[in-house]
Amino acid sequence: MTVSAIEFTRLGPPKLRLHAMRCTSCDTLHPWWERFFCYSCGGTELVEQELEGKGELTNYTVVYYPPRDFLGQEPYVVGHITMDEGVLMPAPVVDVPADEVEVGTRVRATLRRMKLGHEGDVYYGQKFVVDETS
Amino acid sequence: MADLLSYGAYLPRYRVSLGEIQKFYGRPGRPRAKMLATPALDEDPITMAFEAAGEALAGQPSPGAVIVATQAPPVGLRKTSATLADALGLSDATALDVGANPSGLLDAFAIGARMAEADDRPVLVVASDHLVSYAERVADMLSAGGATAFLIGPSGGFATLGVRTRARREVFDVWRLGTEPEARYRLEVLFDAYGSTAGEALGSLERESGRATGDYAAVAASQPHPQTLRALGRAGVTQEQLAATSFVGEIGNIGAASAGLALALALDAVGAGDAVALFGYGGGEGIAQAIEVTGAPPAIDAASRIAGSEIPLGTYYRWTRGRQAEPH
Amino acid sequence: MRVGVLGIGKTPHKIQHQKSLRDLIVEAGTKAMDDAGVAPRDIQALYLGNAASPGFNYENSTGLMGAHHLGIVPSPAVRVEAACGTGAWALHLGCVAILSGLYDTVMVLGAEKMNDLATVEGTSVIAQAADSKEEYFSGLTFPSGVALTARKYMQVYGLSEEDLAHTSVKNHYYGARNPYAHLRFECTVEEVMRSAKVADPLKLFEVCPMTDASSALVLCREEILRDQPDKPQVYVTATQMGTGTWYAASDTLDDAYNLLAKPAQKAYQMAGISSADIDVAEIYNSFAIQEPLGVEALGFAEQGEGWKGAADGSTWMDGPTAVNLSGGLLCKGHPLGATGATQAVDVVEQLRGTAPPDMQRADAANGISACRGGPGSVAAIHVYQRLEG
């Protein structure tokens, strides 16, 4: 559940762009939520780095019992995507039947609606589709 | 004069059979479209615009403005173009929303062309829509969704935006009162007004450009209903000119994106030296524009996207109802 | 260390619409005090583990509520929260309280009431234990996060879903014999394989139900229990805790192993025993795959082989180490805050010899409970021993 349109101010905008966090001390790329502490080197200065959008599905599951905000979309695939830049990105993989997904499939990021917030604020975010070009 | 630099199109993957919908509501008569292109529960005009824009922007210089034409902004009192620009990483671009009627693409071209020339910088124009009608009204409105994007530059493109003409009638054919969720319509008025403004606008185009209507390699027209394409015949447009650009009978009415998809289909089919007539109609206003193709268009094979995956009726209604879900 | 277990008590584990959260707390706490032979005024502190009452019940200060209605006022009370490891954290704090010398007798209690909300809403509340603003924002749920681990485990060790299904068969065998369990039916490998998909590859019989329950222990200084030789001489002899990543995306199989293995190694040292000495183990398994992972981390099997014990009998009642004779969380359910406390109660029952005969391990003297929580974030290991003389 989302809290309020106030919370959207912080939470919503960063999700419009596909990005990871890079530690300025050791250059390791971390998923986008690691804004505070680098577990590779203990560094505390991390900056946003935009990603190209392409990667490979290295693990996935199929959700049959969704949380409330995802009702109507089940069954849906949630994957662990290893981006070409090397960082692991968890995200849904859409527009492909669940039984046609395999580890190793190339995917690319796109923008989709994530949820209609508690106060009618609309969250968008990153989902992935099969990359037809590769 | 401004040029088209590139273009993109996005149709959602899913199709629902209009025949099944009519059967469910006991509505007699042949369905006027075979399928309706149906955005998934997590899609809307912004997400579809994002995809189309991505295709148009690939390998191109960054635009200084983003103009969106849509009849279905996901959120009112906010600019669809502003959120789209943020999502595309173009937060410094001028964001403009145009429209509220299906000829919005033509208006966006007019504004975009002037801005591109004035600022010497490309402008991204996106027409994206998701029309939703309920119950048997879908059989009349053929409500569907999709998006198209065009990058306009001051020069150096593969086609030039040429002469523009306009005709207008004060009519109520498809309209929505401010407080209502769904459109009202009187299709007889639509077919009539579409046909007569098309005749007038294309006639003016002929006179002002010096090119006969029949000399365009293709006519790309907004198409809310197959009957409107037939009305173009009375304005001097031939079957051959509509052969590559007719799709409403396949996937339904995609609103503001309709003229854009027709244009993308036309550009895919023509070559250097050809001309395309673009026509958009909405709310009693018909706008025509000549597009002179000077180089080989960077074709995207939009025609291959017309076919999609059929979804059952239950899924269609779960998704269209879901759009109306209350915040919780 | 030795902390005396003076009394234990638990409620049935099931959907209990007629009982509120405070009803469950008072039931378990009262049973534990009665078993201990103490009155509420003897309890010097209450550590009440509850993971999500603000979400499930719109009640925040569960510790204060418990203190009042158990009659423990004016002794201090606090709500303890550490996701699914909550109950074990309450136990840890209870042990620390006794070992500090500041308290002689304390109550450790875990409680959760999950079923006032519909399952779909409850799933969202549970997801709030993980990063619901970022990682779990886009449709991941706890079952799907664990499913990703299950698929990795199968990939790395070349296992089939049938191999993993034996864990459910064993847990259900004993759950059927546990009068306090939520799910009380046996099942076969075929029935596990046919059960409805929840988050591929996890199936219905491989995930726990949403349960309402409470469990409690009265702990005391070693001397207090020693001075009552007629009471069962069961002591907590090790308590070791740890944390791991808060993100399923960063939780590798090695992380899952180390999360429990490191505190387990310290716990064995602290208790002065080894894994070979353990007779009974309660290993956290809200999802079936977690039992093999825990079996490996606690040293009962090599990495990649933890699943075999359920298939070949070695983790059944008469095997070298009996695992989850209570039916595990798969059958007891996982009332989030109660689980760690219930595991302790169930091990103590085994060491006292008071479990129902068809699930009582003969001569159980050394036990261990392994509780975990979050995507990969909480580890709690406790060792219990029956010490004569």
Per-residue tokens: B2? 């401004």
Residue of A nearest to B90 (CA): A17
Per-residue pLDDT band for B323 (boundaries 50, 70, 90) equals low
B51 touches A at CB < 8 Å: yes
Q: What is the ipTM of this complex?
A: 0.94
Distance CA C169, CA C176 (A): 11
Which site among B10, B15, B42, B321 would you substitute to test the A interface, given the most A Cβ atoms closer than 10 Å to its Cβ?
B42
pLDDT band with cut points at 50, 70 and 90 for residue C192: very high
Going from the C-alpha of C380 to that of each of B278, C93, C255, C280, C359, the distances in angstroms are 70, 11, 15, 16, 24
Residues in chain B with CB shorter than 8 Å from the CB of A112 are 42-43, 47
Q: How far is CA B181 from CA B176, B177, B189, B324, in A?
A: 8, 8, 21, 10
Q: How confident is the model at residue B136 (pLDDT cuts 50, 70, 90)?
A: confident
Question: CB C147: neighbour CB atoms within 10 A?
Answer: 30
Q: Which fold has domain A53-134?
A: OB fold (Dihydrolipoamide Acetyltransferase, E2P) (2.40.50)
Using CB atoms, which residue from A68, A113, A116 is nearest to B43?
A113
Quick one: which of B254, B215, B193 has its CA closest to B71?
B254
Q: What pLDDT is recorded for position C274?
A: 98
Output the pLDDT for position C335. Answer: 98
Which tokens in the block code for residue A73? 């979309």
CB-nearest partner of A91 from C127, C138, C143? C138
The residue-averaged pLDDT of C138-162 equals 94
Collapsed DSSP state (helix, strand, coil) of residue B71: coil
With CA atoms as reference, report the closest residue to C329 among C136, C153, C88. Answer: C88
pLDDT digits (tens, 9 = 90+) for C308-346: 999 999 999 999 999 999 999 999 999 999 999 999 999
pLDDT level of residue B322 (50, 70, 90 thresholds): low
In 3D space, the residue among C98, C109, C88 whose CA is nearest the CA of residue C267 turns out to be C88
Average pLDDT over chain C, rounded to an integer: 96
User: Which of B41, B46, B75 lies closest to A73 in CB terms?
Assistant: B41
Distance from C156 to chain A by nearest Cα, in Å? 12
**Where are the domains positioned within chain A?**
53-134
C340/B203 Cα distance (integer angstroms): 82
Picking from A96, A111, A130 by the largest number of B CB atoms within 10 A of its own CB, the best residue to mutate is: A111
Per the confidence metrics, is the pTM higher than 0.90? yes
Number of other CB atoms surrounding residue C270 within 10 Å: 16
B256: Cα separation from own chain's centroid: 4
For B15-32, the pLDDT digits (tens) are: 999 999 999 999 999 999
How far is the alpha carbon of C381 from chain A, nearest alpha carbon, in Å? 24
* pLDDT of B326 over the 80 cut: no
Reported as a pLDDT band with limits 50, 70 and 90, residue B93 is very high
Chain-chain contact of B74 with A72 (C-beta, under 8 angstroms): no
* In chain C, domain spans: 3-118+210-226
Q: Is A36 exposed, middle or buried (CB count within 10 Å of its CB: 0-12, 13-18, 19+)?
A: exposed
Alpha-carbon distance C41 to C70, whole Å?
10
Shortest CA gap B101–chain A (Å): 24
With bands split at pLDDT 50, 70 and 90, how would you rate the model's confidence at B209? very high
Catalytic site residue C84?
yes
Tell me whether B327 touches chain A (CB under 8 Å).
Answer: yes
**Of A67, B39, B267, B265, nearest to C141 (Cα)?**
A67
* C164 and C152 Cβ atoms separated by less than 8 Å: no
Of B3-7, B258-262, B301-305, B318-322, minimum mean pLDDT range: B318-322
Each residue of A3-37: pLDDT tens digit? 899 999 999 999 999 999 999 999 999 999 999 99
Mean pLDDT of C143-155: 95
Structure-derived torsion over alpha carbons of residues C285, C288, C289, C293, reported in degrees to the nearest 10: 40
* pLDDT confidence bin for B97, thresholds 50/70/90: very high
β-bridge partners, A113: A124
Q: Which residue has the higher pLDDT, C288 or B325?
A: C288
Residue C382 a catalytic site member: no
Q: Which of C131, C151, C152 minimises the CB distance to A33? A: C131
Task: Using alpha carbons, list the distances in angstroms from residue B179 to B132, B136, B176, B183, C216.
Answer: 16, 21, 8, 11, 58
Q: Does domain B159-293 have CATH number 1.20.58.1030?
A: no
Tens digits of residue pLDDT in C300-313: 999 999 999 999 99
Q: Would you state the pLDDT for residue C389? A: 56
Gap between the Cα atoms of C304 and C111, Å rounded: 34
Question: Average pLDDT of C349-360?
Answer: 97
Say what percent of chain B tops pLDDT 70.
Answer: 98
Going from N- to C-terminal start, the domains of chain B cover: 2-157, 159-293
Least confident of A119-123, C47-51, C264-268: A119-123
Look at A33 and C247 and tell me if their CB atoms are within 8 Å.
yes
pLDDT level of residue B99 (50, 70, 90 thresholds): confident
Residue B305, pLDDT > 80, answer yes
C138–A75 CB contact, under 8 Å: no
Mean per-residue pLDDT for B209-235? 96
* Option in A66, A88, A125 nearest C137 (CB): A125
DSSP-derived pairing of the beta strands A54-63 and A106-116: antiparallel
Of 3.40.50.720, 3.30.930.10, 3.40.50.1980, 3.40.47.10, which CATH number belongs to B2-157?
3.40.47.10
Q: Say whether A61 and C200 touch across the interface (CB within 8 A).
A: yes
- What does residue A59 show for φ and ψ, rounded to 5 degrees? -165, 155
Is pLDDT of B1 > 90? no
The 3-state DSSP class for residue B230 equals helix
The pLDDT tens digits for C47-99 are 999 999 999 999 999 999 999 999 999 999 999 999 999 999 999 999 999 99
pLDDT band at residue A72 under the 50/70/90 scheme: confident
8 Å CB contact of A127 and B42: yes
Please tell me the predicted confidence (pLDDT) of residue A67. Answer: 86
Confidence grade of residue C139 (pLDDT, cut at 50, 70, 90): confident
- What confidence tier does B134 reach under pLDDT thresholds 50, 70, 90? confident
Q: Of C166, C172, C182, C334, which one is the catalytic site residue?
A: C334
Pick the CATH number of C3-118+210-226 from 3.40.50.300, 3.40.47.10, 1.10.3470.10, 3.40.50.1110: 3.40.47.10
CB contact under 8 A, C120 and A68: yes
